[in-house]
Amino acid sequence: MREAICERMEDIGINAAVDNVLITSGSQQAIDLTGKLFINPGDIIICESPTYLAAINVFESYNATFVEVAMDNDGMIMEELEKKLQAYPDAKFIYTVPDFQNPTGRTLKFERRKQMTELARQYDVLIVEDNPYGAIRFAGEEIPPVKHFDIDNRVIYISSFSKIFAPGLRLGWICADETFIDKYVCFKQTADLHTDSFAQRITAKYLELYDMEEHINKIKDVYKKRCITMLSCMKQFFPNNINYSIPEGGLFIWVELPEMIDSEQLLVECLENNVAFVPGSPFFPNSTNNNTLRLNYSNMPEERIIEGMKRIGEVLQRKLKNENKKEVQKA
């Protein structure tokens, strides 16, 4: 299994030996083991703003302190990252989801990936690269992982088969320097001894006998159509003063509403219309951004996406109309 993973990583620009790889029970366990290995109470973790909710929960369970770095449409802003590294020289690591980020769907651009590794070397900090979505690119040019630019073994790379093969098998991995892997192994053994051998054999045999890329291409075709459908419906049904990301892959679209709209209150009204989304505020470990939300196009056929976006759009139109009336009355 590790040999097969090394071959897959080589295809995307990561050169690793089997001793650099630890199989985990999904990438979520890899994140948890990373927190267990590296974080002491009060340690500073630098992350994107917003960032992956389950990573926030894991690192908070080890009493980490978060420092958020602003993003734009090209991912984490490197000038802002350097300011945080200067302000927090004892930061334990930078946590990043560079490809089709959860929750924003944004992708860290090529030059910024190089800059991130250069800044990590300059300020002597580790990078934890969480990349479960990288294989699901259906538009734009391929970009090598941050780990590709790692020349001094300070990038810990985490990935998974969950988004491209079979989520129920819970099969992920960590790729890192052997000294880190040796320590990871100790924590892994105390957690569950080893990842399910049957799941590993199934996946390894599939990789041996079948064309995984052909399978992934089928997934990408489905997600691309669903993403295009959702974006088209948002343009048609949503108010004009709403901003949203346009992903080149992955599963998510990030929506920024006018400041007067609270997405948690909006969700209550949407649920009354049998449609749902994830409010954005929990994805910010420190700040509150109540006017944001995350949409996911992966799990519904196109006809249901159309109906869902229409319903959210109708609720949004009504809510904005009511809020505008309140503003006029105040004036």
Mean pLDDT calculated for residue range 64-92: 99
pLDDT digits (tens, 9 = 90+) for 103-125: 999 999 999 999 999 999 999 99
Q: Concatenated DSSP letters for 156-192?
A: EEEEESTTTT-GGG--EEEE--HHHHHHHHHHHHHHH
Q: What is the mean pLDDT of the chain?
A: 97
pLDDT at 328 over 70: no
What pLDDT was estimated at residue 288?
A: 83
pLDDT at 35 over 70: yes
pLDDT at 330 over 80: no
**Are 2-209 and 214-330 the same fold in CATH?**
no
Going from the C-alpha of 71 to that of each of 79, 98, 177, the distances in angstroms are 11, 11, 29
- Would you kindly state where each structural domain of the chain is located, as residue ranges? 2-209, 214-330
**Token pair recorded at residue 295:** 């949409």
Fold of 214-330: Aspartate Aminotransferase, domain 1 (3.90.1150)
What pLDDT was estimated at residue 166?
A: 87
Cβ(239)–Cβ(320) under 8 Å? yes
pLDDT digits (tens, 9 = 90+) for 207-265: 999 999 999 999 999 999 999 999 999 999 999 999 999 999 999 999 999 999 999 99
pLDDT digits (tens, 9 = 90+) for 61-72: 999 999 999 999
What pLDDT was estimated at residue 29?
A: 98
Mean pLDDT calculated for residue range 135-150: 98
Cβ(71)–Cβ(103) under 8 Å? no
What pLDDT was estimated at residue 331?
A: 62
What pLDDT was estimated at residue 305?
A: 99
Name the β-bridge partners of 69: 48
What is the architecture of the domain spanning 2-209?
3-Layer(aba) Sandwich (3.40)
Q: Which ranges of the chain does DSSP label H, i.e. alpha helix?
A: 2-11, 26-38, 53-61, 78-87, 110-122, 178-192, 197-209, 212-237, 263-272, 302-330
Cβ(120)–Cβ(127) under 8 Å? yes
Q: Would you place residue 278 in the very low, low, confident or very high pLDDT band (cuts 50, 70, 90)?
A: very high
pTM value is: 0.97
Closest residue by Cα to residue 160 from 171, 145, 146: 171
pLDDT digits (tens, 9 = 90+) for 155-207: 999 999 999 998 899 999 999 999 999 999 999 999 999 999 999 999 999 99
What pLDDT was estimated at residue 205?
A: 96
